[in-house]
Structure 1
């Protein structure tokens, strides 16, 4: 990546490495339409969410709500917590992550290694259920009336969306202003909606497609448990204020089986992507061939697959939960192989 968005050759802080993430051409049709992956796992902590973690802390400092020696509290399934752990360590804050066992174990271990305090809402839980509402409630209670303490409240914090504005500028510069379809996961809404909002100032006429797991409630439909972590709106959780339906042209749902099969098929091309990213890529691949000739589609890949070795890439874990489908993996792999042959 060139131009104003190129980072210095040498930096002095880990957070200075945020951004300027690469684009990978994953698939191309015979008519010249292409699917590009915005590889956000190349950020520190291997996830896009460190972008908004930094933005939320910047906003809290600017407002005078967080001062030297202060404490940050957040409810997190892992990736936001990883980002906040890094920013807290750099700036001398204490960070408390309110978590549950549904989060990938490696994310929890990494937060602890970075100095975060972990508070579980489901002590002794087996990780089969999300506890988003309970996490939010506890985090809010812990921060209430505490001086120099901030509950960053990622689902309703405007700075979350602002943190992703640079993604839009990176895409516009790298693609010389040519982007037709943007596809991304919808969790807090900050990533997809923040990128789309800023991108609309830079590029005209693109379509935004939001992807959530089957069982999530942002786009309606029945609620039930799902295993894609860090995304969606589970039953009992409030839809965050950052989910702006005016910025999402189409909302779709992808099941765990399809999302995880896609992760495993993409891995055999040499790239490891996370569970929710699998859902995004599945949807993008499904519709790529039906797009007008010469379409440029970008899928936002929020994190890599290295944190999911115990889950998505573990045959025993997948089998125990009836998520392993050799047939679906084969279908995705064959489709991907055909499309990659056009590059």
Structure 2
């Protein structure tokens, strides 16, 4: 498949937030299957992740509605990427920002938020490694916002400005690919990116197939809940599934365990020189599995939410992986068969 070259030139901007969007598509080889596999590399957004799109849209909507006033305070429960976007926008526009986090957040994301002037509130500094505290984070965010009349809780899981923030992503895909997109694959966390993009695409491509991917242990698509290490995706047991998970926009929901997600990310780094996040590894593995089984054909777009540079001390680290028994020798061989040798 030959892609149209994207000629957009933004030139000089006056705000960092104006650099959002227009991220590239990377085509990976699929030599033995009837599919075109494209990765939408959202790490080229400000703060290195796709959630800047929805963070910006949530703040714009809150300003327009009067819920957020000059000099006010933004509050959000976050595992990192949304917080990075909100922190940057708060600094740009003169707001205070309080991020409610747990021990699951990547250390580099916390450092970056602090560098941008954010206040960090931990809810579980003494918890065991890897456990999520999403429900407690949300409760804390609601309480802090209620105690401060000048604050606004963005509440990303239930804020309609979240999925609406990905209309631009759909527009970019249509600009480059036209209506020739058969399937969209993405991780399901708040649900905003996958459902918002799918909804916008379906205005032009009503028959679009959307594949939602969550970690084993997440409860969005049912099944027993449990612990998982994939950050910024899924809904752990005990946490509320927000309204931004629009099941009408998800054709099928599947689960990918940490072993498959992380070893896929590690393989992509060593084969293609591209560092991707753990949830991206899960989404990509689900797409590969579906293409290999003949379930998905044609043009398949996988949303890659962020890069892997913030996870170098976790799943890109051999010792970290070995300690958790997550290393796999079989999966890289499986992926090598799928992508073929470099001479294929």
Give the 3 Å change call, closer, same or farther, for CA 294–234 of structure 1 in structure 2.
closer
CA distance in 1, matches of 2:180, 2:269: 28
Q: Alpha carbons of 1:304 and 1:72: their partners in 2 closer, same or farther (altered >3 Å)?
A: same
Give the conservation status (yes or no) of the 8 Å contact 2:291–2:297: no
Aligned to 1:41: 43
Paired residue total: 339
Looking at structure 2, the residues matched to 203 and 29 of structure 1 have their Cα atoms a distance apart, in angstroms, of 26
Partner of 1:329: 332
**Match of 1:27?**
29
Match among 280, 283, 299 for residue 283 of structure 2: 280
Distance across 1 between alignment mates of 2:295 and 2:318: 38
1:161-240 to structure 2, matched below 5 A, reads 161-240=163-242
Alignment correspondent of 2:61: 59
Q: List structure 1 segments (4+ residues) > 6 angstroms apart after TM superposition.
A: none
**SS of aligned partner of 1:234:** coil
Q: Distance in 1 between matches of 2:129 and 2:165?
A: 30
Shift of 1:335: 2.2
Q: Scaled by the length of structure 2, what TM-score is found?
A: 0.95
Contact 2:260–2:331 (Cα < 8 Å) also in 1: yes
- Give the superposition deviation at 1:126: 4.5
Gaps of 5+ in 1: none
CA contact (8 A) 1:165 1:195 kept: yes
**Residue of structure 2 equivalent to 1:133:** 135
3-state SS in 2 of match to 1:123: coil
Matched, 1:81 2:83: yes
Aligned residue number for residue 2 of structure 1: 6
Q: Distance in 2 between matches of 1:318 and 1:292?
A: 31
Q: Is the 8 A contact 1:19 1:43 kept in 2?
A: yes
Q: In structure 2, how many angstroms separate the alpha carbons of the residues matched to 1:178 and 1:128?
A: 40
Q: TM (normalized to structure 1)?
A: 0.95
The corresponding residue for 2:306 is 303
Root-mean-square deviation (CA), in Å?
1.6
Question: What are structure 2's unaligned runs of at least 5 residues?
Answer: none
**Does residue 143 in structure 1 map to residue 145 in structure 2?**
yes
1: CA distance between counterparts of 2:309 and 2:128? 21
Distance 1:247-1:31 versus aligned 2 partners, 3 A rule: same
318, 323, 330: which one aligns with 1:320: 323
Which residue number in structure 2 is paired with residue 16 of structure 1? 18
SS in 2 for 1:28: coil
8 Å Cα contact 1:285/1:336 also seen in 2: no
